[in-house]
Amino acid sequence: MSLINDILNNEDFSKQDIVSLLAISEKDEQDLLTTKAYSVKEKYIGRKAFVRGLIEFSNQCKKNCLYCGIRSGNSKVARYTLTDEEILSAVSLAVNNRYNGIVLQSGEISNQSFTKRITELIRKIKKEGGEDFRITLSLGEQSYETYREWFEAGAQRYLLRIETSNEQLYKKIHPDNDLHSFETRLNCLKEIQKAGYQTGTGVMIGLPFQTLEDLADDLLFLKSMSIDMVGMGPYIEHSDTPLYQEKENLLPLMERFNLSLRMISVLRLLMPFINIASTTALQSIFPMGREKGLKCGANILMPNLTPGKYRGSYLLYENKACIDEDADECLDCLDKRVQMVGEKIDYENFGDSKHYFNRYNPVS
Ligand code: 5AD
Ligand code: SF4
Ligand code: FES
Can you tell me the mean pLDDT for 58-72? 97
Residue 362, pLDDT > 70, answer: no
pLDDT at 278 over 80: yes
15 CA distance to ligand 1 centroid (A)? 25
Q: Is the pLDDT score of 364 beyond 50?
A: no
Residue 251 is predicted with a pLDDT of 97
> Which residues, in sequence order, are CB contacts of 340 under 8 Å at separation 6+?
288, 291
HEC-encoded secondary structure of the chain: CHHHHHHHHCCCCCHHHHHHHHCCCCHHHHHHHHHHHHHHHHHHCCCEEEECEEEEEECCCCCCCCCCCCCCCCCCCCCCECCHHHHHHHHHHHHHCCCCEEEEEECCCCCHHHHHHHHHHHHHHHHHHCCCCEEEEECCCCCHHHHHHHHHHCCCEEECCCECCCHHHHHHCCCCCHHHCHHHHHHHHHHHHHHCCEEEECEEECCCCCCHHHHHHHHHHHHHCCCCEEECEECCCCCCCHHHHHHHHCCCHHHHHHHHHHHHHHHHHHCCCCEEECCHHHHHHCCCHHHHHHHCCCCEECCECCCHHHHCCCCCCCCCCCCCCCHHHHHHHHHHHHHHCCCEECCCCCCCCHHHHHHHCCCC
Nearest CA owner, ligand 1 atom 7: 68
* Pocket-testing residue among 60, 71, 179, ligand 2, by greatest number of atoms within 8 A of Cβ: 71
Confidence of residue 217 (pLDDT cuts 50, 70, 90): very high
Over residues 326-350, mean pLDDT = 85
Q: Say yes or no: CB of residue 325 within 6 Å of ligand 3.
A: yes
Mean pLDDT of the region 152-170: 98
| 232 touches 204 (CB < 8 A) | yes
Residue 280 has pLDDT above 90, yes or no: no
Task: Give the closest ligand to the alpha carbon of residue 242.
Answer: 1
For residue 71, give the ligand 2 atom closest to its CA: 6
Looking at residue 329, what is its pLDDT?
73
Q: Higher confidence at residue 163 or residue 318?
A: 163
Ligand 3 contact, 305 CB (< 6 A): no
Q: Indicate the domain borders of the chain.
A: 48-346
- Counting ligand 1 atoms within 8 A of each CB, the residue from 56, 67, 77 with the most, and so the one to mutate, is 67
- pTM (two decimals): 0.95
Instruction: Tell how far the Cα of 288 is from the centroid of ligand 1, in angstroms.
Output: 20
99-121 pLDDT, tens per residue?
999 999 999 999 999 999 999 99
- How far is residue 208's CA from residue 215's CA, in Å, rounded to a whole number? 12
- Please report, rounded to a whole number, the percentage of residues in the chain having pLDDT higher than 70: 98
| pLDDT greater than 70 at residue 361 | no
Distance 235 CA to ligand 1 centre (A): 7
Tell me the pLDDT band of 1, cut-offs 50, 70 and 90: low
Q: What is the CATH number of domain 48-346?
A: 3.20.20.70
User: For 240-265, how does the pLDDT look when each residue is reduced to its tens digit (9 = 90+)?
Assistant: 999 999 999 999 999 999 999 999 99
- For a ligand 2 pocket test, name from 56, 60, 65 the mutation site with the most ligand atoms within 8 angstroms of its C-beta: 65
Q: Give the model confidence (pLDDT) of 304-336 as tens digits.
A: 898 888 888 888 877 777 777 776 776 678 888
In this prediction, residue 317 carries a pLDDT of: 77
Residue 180 banded pLDDT, cuts 50, 70, 90: very high
